[in-house]
C-alpha cells in the first residue's frame, strides 16, 4: 500500500483546510571538492628589518601600531589567481543556467493562466455569498488533432464557459469553446482557438526517474508564468486524500519543486523541455509549498485527454476482481511468498474478464501487461489507463509458483453502468 497522508491540498488558491500534516525537512548537503583549491594564505606584511624569517614579527606603522590580522590576507597576485579560478567555475555553472533559461523561453508560451468564476458553495447555514473566483494554470497541447488546454478539473469545475478566462504569456485572453472533465483523475480539457498558439512537447512515456531535475511552471498565488526548480522526490503515490470528492485513480509523481496554490494544472517539465506531469496537489500545514507537491504522470494525462476529446468520456478497463486491501506478511507466508508484494485476489465476479481468464481467489497478481505490480492500488491505477478491447498478459502467483494468463480487457461500463 502507498503512504496515506492525513491531509493533502489541491494546488489551487481556493481550497479548504484539513488536518495538519507533520512534515520533516531533511537537508542533505553534498560537498564536492574542487580540483583547483584556493591557494594557501601566506603572510604578506614585511618583516621587521634584521629579524630572521619565520620570526612572525610584523613591521609597525609610523605610530608603532601593528595589524594582527595582516598575515591572513591575500596578496594581490593571490587575489588575481582566485578571481581567475572563480571565473572558470562560474562559466561551468552559467552553461547549466543557460539550459534553464532556454527551457523557460520555450515553455512559457505553452503555459496559460486560468481564471474561473463559479457559484459560491453553500455555507453551513445553507446561504450563498455570491460568486467565487478560482485561479489555476494549464498547458497548451495538441490532442487528437485539436488544440486544447489541459488543466485540473477542480480549477474549472462548476464554472460556465463564459466565466472561464484563459490568459496567454503574451497577455491575450481567450475563452474556451468546449470543456470535458474526468472526476476520477481530476483532469479537464478545454478546446481553444487563436492565432500563433504554441503547443507543448509531451514526453512519450513515463521515463522520469527519482532524482531527475524538473521544472514546475504555473501561477502560484496568481503570479502567472512563474518557474520553480526541483527534483522528482518519489513516484507512485497512490493513497492521497484530495478534496471533498477525492481522486479515484492515482499514480502521482512527488516533487520538491515549489508548487503553491495556483499551480494546479500547470506542467511539470524535464530538462529536455518535455511535459512529464500535470501539477495537481500539495501537502502542507501552512497552505504554501513545504517541499511536497504532486503531479499526474503524462501517460495518465494523455490517456484521459484523448478519450475526452474523441469520445467525450473515458472508457476504462475492467478486471472483475475484489482485491485484498490488507494483504499482510502473514497472508503472504500462508500462500508461500516471502513477502507481501503484488495484489491478492479475494473474489472474482462471475462472467467478468478475470473469470474468463481463469483467475481464482487467493491468486496474487504480480504483473499486469508487462508491468510489475507493487500493491492493489498500483494494479487499479494500471488498469484505469489500459485501453479496452484488447488482451493483456498477467503474471500470477498460485500454488507456490508463477503462472501466465491471458485476459481479454472489457470496458468498465459493460459491468458498471454509469
| 90-144 per-position pLDDT tens digit | 988 888 888 889 999 999 999 999 999 998 776 555 555 678 888 999 999 999 9
Q: What is the pLDDT of residue 40?
A: 52
Instruction: Please tell me which residue, 57 or 329, carries the higher pLDDT value.
Output: 329
Give CA angle at 290 (287, 292), nearest 5°: 105
CA 308 to CA 283: how far, in whole Å? 29
Q: How far apart are CA 164 and CA 335, in angstroms?
A: 55
Distance of alpha carbon 215 from alpha carbon 222, whole angstroms: 18
Task: Give the pLDDT of residue 60.
Answer: 66
Residue whose C-alpha cell is 484523448? 306
| Active site positions, annotated | 154, 186, 264
Query: Tell me, what's the pLDDT at 244?
Result: 64
pTM: 0.76
Domains and CATH numbers, the chain: 8-13+92-123+130-314 (2.40.10.120), 317-414 (2.30.42.10)
Where does the pLDDT of residue 241 fall: very low under 50, low under 70, confident under 90, or very high at 90 and above? confident
So what's the pLDDT on residue 384? 86
**Whole-number Å distance between alpha carbons of 338 and 330:** 10
Q: How far apart, in whole angstroms, are the C-alpha atoms of residue 214 and residue 232?
A: 7
Per residue in 286-337, pLDDT (tens digit) is 777 788 999 999 999 999 999 999 999 898 888 899 999 899 999 999 999 9
Of 123-127, 131-135, 393-397, 408-412, which gets the smallest average pLDDT?
123-127
Beta-sheet strands, E only, within 122-271: 131-143, 146-152, 164-167, 173-174, 178-182, 187-191, 201-202, 213-218, 226-237, 252-255, 267-270
- Residue 372: what pLDDT? 93
Mean pLDDT taken over the chain = 83
For residue 384, the 8-state DSSP code is H
Q: Which is more confident, 24 or 4?
A: 4
3-class state of residue 147 by DSSP:
strand
The DSSP code sequence of 204-245 is: SS----TT-EEEEEE-GGG-TTEEEEEEEEEEEE----BTTT
Q: Which residue has the higher pLDDT, 41 or 407?
A: 407
Residue 36 DSSP SS3: coil
Instruction: Tell me the three cell numbers of residue 111.
Output: 503555459
Amino acid at each position: 500500500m502507498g503512504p496515506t497522508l492525513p491531509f493533502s491540498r489541491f494546488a489551487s488558491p481556493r481550497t479548504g483546510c484539513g488536518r495538519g500534516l507533520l512534515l520533516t525537512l531533511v537537508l542533505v548537503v553534498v560537498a564536492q571538492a574542487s580540483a583547483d583549491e584556493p591557494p594557501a594564505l601566506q603572510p604578506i606584511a614585511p618583516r621587521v628589518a634584521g629579524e630572521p624569517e619565520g620570526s612572525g614579527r610584523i613591521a609597525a606603522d609610523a605610530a608603532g601600531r601593528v595589524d594582527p590580522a595582516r598575515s591572513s590576507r591575500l596578496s594581490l597576485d593571490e587575489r588575481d589567481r582566485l578571481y581567475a579560478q572563480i571565473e572558470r567555475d562560474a562559466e561551468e555553472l552559467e552553461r547549466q543556467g543557460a539550459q534553464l533559461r532556454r527551457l523557460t523561453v520555450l515553455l512559457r508560451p505553452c503555459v496559460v493562466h486560468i481564471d474561473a468564476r463559479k457559484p459560491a458553495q453553500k455555507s453551513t447555514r445553507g446561504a450563498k455569498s455570491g460568486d467565487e473566483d478560482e485561479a489555476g494554470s494549464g498547458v497548451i497541447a495538441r490532442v487528437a488533432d485539436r488544440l486544447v488546454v489541459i488543466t485540473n478539473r477542480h480549477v474549472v469545475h462548476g464554472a460556465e464557459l463564459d466565466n472561464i478566462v484563459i490568459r496567454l504569456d503574451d497577455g491575450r485572453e481567450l475563452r474556451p469553446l468546449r470543456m470535458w472533465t474526468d472526476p476520477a483523475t481530476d483532469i479537464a480539457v478545454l478546446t481553444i482557438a487563436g492565432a500563433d498558439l504554441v503547443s507543448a512537447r509531451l514526453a512519450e512515456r513515463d521515463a522520469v526517474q527519482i532524482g531527475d531535475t524538473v521544472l514546475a511552471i504555473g501561477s502560484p498565488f496568481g503570479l502567472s508564468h512563474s518557474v520553480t526548480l526541483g527534483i522528482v522526490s518519489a513516484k507512485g503515490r497512490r493513497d492521497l486524500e484530495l478534496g471533498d470528492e477525492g481522486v479515484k485513480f492515482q499514480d502521482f509523481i512527488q516533487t520538491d519543486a515549489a508548487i503553491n496554490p495556483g499551480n494546479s494544472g500547470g506542467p511539470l517539465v524535464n530538462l529536455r523541455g518535455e511535459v512529464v506531469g500535470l501539477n495537481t496537489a500539495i501537502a502542507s500545514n501552512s497552505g504554501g509549498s513545504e517541499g511536497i507537491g504532486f503531479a499526474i504522470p503524462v501517460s495518465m494525462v494523455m490517456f484521459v485527454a484523448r478519450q475526452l476529446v474523441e469520445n467525450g468520456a473515458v472508457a476504462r478497463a475492467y478486471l472483475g476482481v475484489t482485491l485484498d486491501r490488507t494483504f499482510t506478511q502473514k497472508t503472504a507466508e500462508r500462500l508461500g511468498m516471502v513477502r507481501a508484494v503484488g495484489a491478492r485476489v479475494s473474489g472474482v465476479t462471475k462472467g467478468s474478464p478475470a473469470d474468463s481468464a481463469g483467475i481464482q481467489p487467493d491468486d496474487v497478481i504480480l504483473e499486469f501487461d508487462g508491468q510489475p505490480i507493487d500493491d492493489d492500488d498500483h494494479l487499479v491505477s494500471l488498469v484505469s489507463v489500459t485501453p479496452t478491447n484488447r488482451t493483456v498478459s498477467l503474471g500470477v502467483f498460485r500454488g507456490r509458483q508463477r503462472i501466465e494468463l491471458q485476459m481479454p480487457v472489457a470496458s468498465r461500463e459493460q459491468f458498471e453502468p454509469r
